[in-house]
């Protein structure tokens, strides 16, 4: 990067990704612009950058207008070495004009796997980062902890990286013990999680798929005497910050959370990561479970699984990538509501027919359906919002005041993305139900060879059998 070359780094959790843009920020001068997904992550990254002497700040939708203006002026005046923003901010005309007038020496995209994982569904701004990279004329750096060959190729193409240097460190974490337990009712999984954590001292993260499940599991563990907090995107920002600080400082032993928790968490002594349900992809699972044992001491990664769990995973796919018939139905309804100008107001009170559509679709899969139609060019937002959506942990899809609805509907891309998501679900099922070594299965998925038996997973040791 110091020689002006694009780069893609796949480094394991705790492998020094922050250093990869901090050092160039010190050496290159000018401004390093860092794209990162969550406000909590920005705050943490700014704190670490400042701790090593860098002049760093961030801009987000949670700040007031005056605070954002001050940060932008400092960047424009050359008083910042690093500026952290969400991808949605890059799409604001005012911000892009300001950035074009700055001395940007490096564009860094942290957690770059989000381009593939989120860019195709509820945060499409990730797919458009490459356009500003081309305008800046500086090298681009993409960093992530987990990425298959296909994801690396997708990131490279999306960011328009030119002959990037690829540095891919081993995915192997020999200190982690992998296990999959038979599932059952949420209450039974909670009780068994309690027994596991009681036998395994030290900090722990328990992942659950929904906010409701997080609250129930937290109540179950706390009611049995474990120091436990809940973390999900439905909590107020100050409460999430309090929970994160309590966990990082050792005042809380267990955090039960959705996947909103953990990205960028720099806590080395997490001894256990438990998944009440396996996520929809092995990339997500490895990223989340990999937060255990960053100090290279033994740690356990346990997941519950039942054959019925596939239905839950497919329901999440249905929300993000609805079926062909569902998209055709939604498109027909929108066409019927559009006027001669092909515009539809996204407001339940705007039209009696739209009120029923709002209730039927947006309360269920409608947000995913609108986003899916937007991805294939069947609808598009009519600009009206001045502040980007998506910097929070629970960004949703299109909720514009008005939509332009095209007459034609081409679902080829939607079908490909749905198929890709379902194949990810099937890969998780194969991992959970496979008879072979867990470590070998995970490393094989990421294209890395492993011993036939690791001697440290439930399959190799018959632990929990």
Provide the pLDDT for residue 267: 87
For residue 402, count CB atoms less than 10 angstroms from its CB and return exposed for 0-12, middle for 13-18, buried for 19 or more.
Answer: middle
Nearest Cα neighbor of 415 from 311, 282, 281, 322 is: 322
Sheet holding 56-58, edge to edge: 56-58, 82-85, 31-35, 104-109, 140-144, 7-10, 165-168
Provide the pLDDT for residue 384: 53
Angle at 39 between CA 34 and CA 43, to 5 degrees: 75
Q: Which residues of the chain have pLDDT under 70?
A: 13-14, 118-122, 264, 346-368, 383-401, 463-465
Provide the pLDDT for residue 349: 55
Provide the pLDDT for residue 351: 54
Nearest Cα neighbor of 289 from 306, 305, 272 is: 272
CA-to-CA dists, residue 19 to 26, 428, 434, angstroms: 10, 32, 38
Tokens representing 256 are 């039960």
Handedness of CA 316, 210, 118, 362 (dihedral sign): positive
- Cα distance between residue 160 and residue 267, in whole Å: 33
Provide the pLDDT for residue 383: 62
**Pairing relationship of beta strands 56-58 and 82-85 according to DSSP bridges:** parallel
- Cα distance between residue 106 and residue 296, in whole Å: 32
Provide the pLDDT for residue 326: 85
Tokens representing 67 are 């605070």
CA-to-CA dists, residue 339 to 57, 351, 398, 410, 419, angstroms: 45, 12, 20, 21, 34
Q: Tokens 């039927």 correspond to what residue?
A: 360
Over its C-alpha atoms, the chain yields an Rg (Å, rounded) of: 23
CB 227 within 8 A of CB 252: yes
**Pairing relationship of beta strands 104-109 and 176-182 according to DSSP bridges:** unpaired
- Cα distance between residue 113 and residue 148, in whole Å: 9
Q: What is the pTM for the complete model shown?
A: 0.79
- Cα distance between residue 264 and residue 291, in whole Å: 9
Tokens representing 100 are 């074009």
* Nearby residues of 267 by Cβ (< 8 Å), 6 or more positions away: 203, 247, 248, 291, 294
Provide the pLDDT for residue 171: 84
Backbone dihedral angles phi then psi of residue 143, each to the nearest 5 degrees:
-135, 140
Taking only the tens place, the pLDDT of each residue in 327-371 is: 888 888 888 888 788 887 766 555 555 555 555 554 444 456 777
Which residues sit opposite 10 in a β-bridge?
Answer: 144, 168
Q: Tokens 């892009």 correspond to what residue?
A: 96
Cα dihedral angle (15, 176, 111, 394), rounded to 10 degrees? Answer: -150
Handedness of CA 446, 277, 461, 194 (dihedral sign): positive
- Cα distance between residue 213 and residue 209, in whole Å: 7
Provide the pLDDT for residue 354: 52
The 8 Å CB, 24+ separation contacts for 359-364 are 361/330, 364/319
Provide the pLDDT for residue 357: 56
- Cα distance between residue 30 and residue 304, in whole Å: 49
């Amino acid at each position: 990067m110091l020689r002006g070359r694009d780069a893609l780094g796949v480094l394991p959790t705790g492998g020094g990704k922050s250093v990869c843009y901090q050092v160039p920020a010190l050496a290159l001068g000018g401004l390093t612009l860092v794209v990162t997904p969550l406000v909590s992550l920005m705050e943490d990254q700014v704190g670490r950058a400042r701790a090593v002497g860098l002049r760093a700040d961030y801009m987000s939708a949670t700040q007031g207008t005056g605070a954002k203006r001050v940060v932008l002026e400092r960047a424009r005046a050359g008083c910042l070495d690093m500026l952290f923003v969400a991808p949605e901010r890059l799409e604001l005309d005012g911000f892009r004009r300001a950035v074009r007038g700055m001395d940007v020496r490096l564009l860094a995209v942290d957690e770059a796997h989000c381009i593939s994982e989120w860019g195709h569904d509820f945060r499409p701004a990730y797919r458009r980062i490459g356009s500003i990279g081309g305008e800046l004329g500086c090298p681009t750096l993409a960093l992530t902890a987990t990425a298959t060959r296909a994801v690396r190729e997708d990131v490279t193409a999306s960011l328009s990286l030119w002959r990037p240097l690829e540095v891919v460190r081993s995915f192997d974490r020999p200190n982690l013990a992998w296990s999959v337990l038979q599932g059952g009712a949420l209450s039974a999984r909670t009780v068994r999680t309690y027994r596991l954590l009681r036998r395994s001292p030290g900090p722990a993260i328990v992942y659950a798929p929904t906010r409701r499940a997080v609250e129930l599991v937290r109540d179950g563990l706390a009611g049995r005497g474990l120091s436990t907090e809940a973390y999900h995107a439905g909590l107020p920002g100050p409460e999430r910050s309090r929970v994160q600080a309590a966990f990082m400082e050792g005042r809380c032993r267990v955090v039960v959370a959705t996947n909103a928790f953990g990205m960028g968490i720099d806590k080395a002594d997490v001894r256990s990561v438990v998944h009440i349900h396996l996520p929809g992809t092995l990339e997500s699972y490895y990223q989340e479970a990999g937060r255990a044992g960053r100090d290279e001491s033994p740690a356990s990664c346990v997941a519950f699984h039942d054959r019925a769990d596939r239905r839950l995973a497919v329901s999440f796919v249905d929300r993000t990538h609805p079926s062909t018939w569902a998209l055709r139905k939604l498109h027909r309804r929108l066409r019927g509501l559009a006027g001669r100008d092909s515009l539809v107001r996204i407001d339940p009170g705007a039209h009696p027919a739209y009120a029923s559509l709002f209730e039927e679709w947006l309360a269920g899969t409608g947000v995913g359906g609108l986003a899916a139609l937007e991805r294939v060019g069947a609808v598009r937002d009519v600009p009206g919002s001045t502040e980007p959506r998506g910097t929070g942990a629970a960004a949703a899809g299109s909720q514009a005041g008005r939509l332009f609805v095209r007459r034609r509907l081409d679902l080829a891309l939607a079908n490909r993305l749905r198929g890709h998501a379902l194949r990810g679900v099937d890969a998780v099922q194969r991992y959970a139900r496979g008879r072979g070594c867990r470590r070998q299965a995970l490393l094989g998925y990421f294209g890395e060879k492993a011993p036939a038996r690791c001697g440290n997973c439930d399959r190799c040791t018959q632990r929990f059998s």
